[in-house]
Amino acid sequence: REQRQPVLITGSTSGIGLAIAHAMAEAGYPVMLHGIMWPEEGEILASEFRDRYGVDCGISTADIDSEAGCAQLAADTREALGNPSVLVNNAGVQFTADAHHFPIEQWQRILSINLSAAFYLSRDLLPGMRDGNWGRIVNISSVHGLVASEQKAAYCAAKHGLIGLTRVLALENADRGVTANAICPGWVETPLIQPQIERIASDENLDIETARAQLIGAKQPMPKATSPEAIAGLVLYLCGQYADTITGAALPVDGGWTAQ
């Protein structure tokens, strides 16, 4: 296996981020794990990665709801693995309500974790990528970065904003071998979508399977969720040799949702 550059994946203790971490470690990249979990649990997860894949692996449990938390995460990463050349901004949260009832603290939390954190970390890590004339920024946006759904004012605003940020980073770093792309998943089966399934089940008195099918079918022509591993495969491709000139793209993986 050739020598790989260190990778930081935010929100990689669960769902899509965890699948990305597995795929990158399996391909030989040193991986910085990150997410909200007890530090002791985090150490166990990191040592499982080291044992299973034979790569360097660190873990940070910094809360990236603030600029200081993002600086902490960048510092933890440098201490564990050195300067990362791949940054996957994946951590994200959801809250649903009509805009005219939307709690202000949820608006601020979603904008801060889903959008500002990606800016703070890119700002911090880009100089290292530019110096090395190689880097990859992959932002996990959403179909809600491209189109809207009701009750998702903060999420849609943040995810649209993340695509805008991606495009600017692509332009500014095009001369330094650094690409920036956004991935825009439709439904992916992870803990993030469980509250939405449970809400349909209780509002409409349905069992969980029927509620899940209803949630997916409401917007997505293909009646199945994308696997976290499929998103991970695309991240791996974007880091590989054939993706050198893919930059500034917003790539849907959405079962046809945004084709309509």
Q: Active-site residue numbers?
A: 155
Judged by CB under 6 A, the residue of 13, 116, 122, 220 near ligand NAD is 13
DSSP 215-231: HHHHH-SSSSPBPHHHH
Q: Is 57 in the site for ligand NAD (CB under 6 A)?
A: no
When the beta carbons of 114 and 116 are compared against ligand NAD, the nearer one is 114
Task: Look at residue 88 and give its three-state secondary structure.
Answer: strand
Check residue 148 for interaction with ligand NAD (CB under 6 A): no
Query: By CB under 6 A, which span of 45-53, 89-97, 130-138, 172-180 interacts with ligand NAD?
Result: 89-97
Distance CA 216, CA 223 (A): 6
Told to check if 67 binds ligand NAD by CB under 6 A, we report no
Distance between alpha carbon 92 and the CA centroid of its chain, in Å? 7
| Binding characters for ligand NAD, 150-179, by CB under 6 A (x = yes) | ------------------------------
Going by DSSP bridges, is the β-strand pair 178-185/7-9 parallel, antiparallel, or unpaired? unpaired
Cα separation, 146 vs 159, in Å, equals 8
Query: Which member of 1, 2, 51, 191 binds ligand NAD (CB under 6 A)?
Result: 191
Q: Residue 9 — φ and ψ, nearest 5°?
A: -120, 110
Structure tokens at 49: 């990665």
| Smaller CB separation from ligand NAD, 85 or 114 | 114
Which CB contacts under 8 angstroms, 24+ apart, belong to 202-207? none
Judged by CB under 6 A, the residue of 6, 15, 42, 161 near ligand NAD is 15
> Does position 35 bind ligand NAD by CB under 6 A?
yes
Q: Determine if 84 is a binding residue for ligand NAD (CB under 6 A).
A: no
Query: In this chain, which of 142, 179, 181, 247 binds ligand NAD, going by CB under 6 A?
Result: 142
Please state the closest distance from residue 209 (CB atom) to ligand NAD, in A.
17
Q: Tell me how crowded residue 241 is: count the other CB atoms within 10 A of its CB.
A: 6
CA dist., res. 181 & res. 9, Å (int)? 14
CA distances from 145 to 148, 157, 185, 231, 248 (A): 8, 8, 9, 16, 14
Residue 140 as a binder of ligand NAD (CB under 6 A): the answer is yes
Read off the tokens for 252.
């849907």
Are the C-beta atoms of 192 and 90 separated by less than 8 Å? Answer: no
| 255: contact with ligand NAD by CB under 6 A | no
Residue nearer to ligand NAD on the CB measure, 55 or 140:
140
Q: Is 187 in the site for ligand NAD (CB under 6 A)?
A: yes
Q: Are 77 and 32 in contact (CB under 8 A)?
A: yes
Binding range to ligand NAD, per CB under 6 A, among 22-30, 47-55, 189-197, 206-214: 189-197
The binding site for ligand NAD (CB under 6 A) comprises 11, 13-17, 35-36, 63-65, 90-93, 113-114, 140, 142, 185, 187-188, 190-193
